[in-house]
Amino acid sequence: MVSQKVTISNPSGIHARPAANLAKVAGSCRCDVHIVVGEKKVQAKSVLNLMAAGIKTGTEVVIECDGEDEAEALKK
């Protein structure tokens, strides 16, 4: 498993369009991709889960990738 801490810089946070884009990229990966926000761990391949997480601008999250193409997925 590989992970990276990032800060959300989109002024609107992760709303519908960025969630859809992120889910599309995560869906193209063969590994599991999760976003960890505080105590919540969200499947990044699901637009609804990303939107339900309520990730606002300035929030620090951890992106976790686990599987056969994890390093490549984290770069995406």
Catalytic site includes residue 15? yes
Query: Among 13, 15, 18, 25, which one carries the catalytic annotation?
Result: 15
Residue 20, SS3? helix
Beta strands in the chain (DSSP E): 2-7, 32-37, 40-43, 60-66
CA–CA separation, 66 vs 15, rounded Å? 25
> Would you name the residues annotated as active-site residues?
15
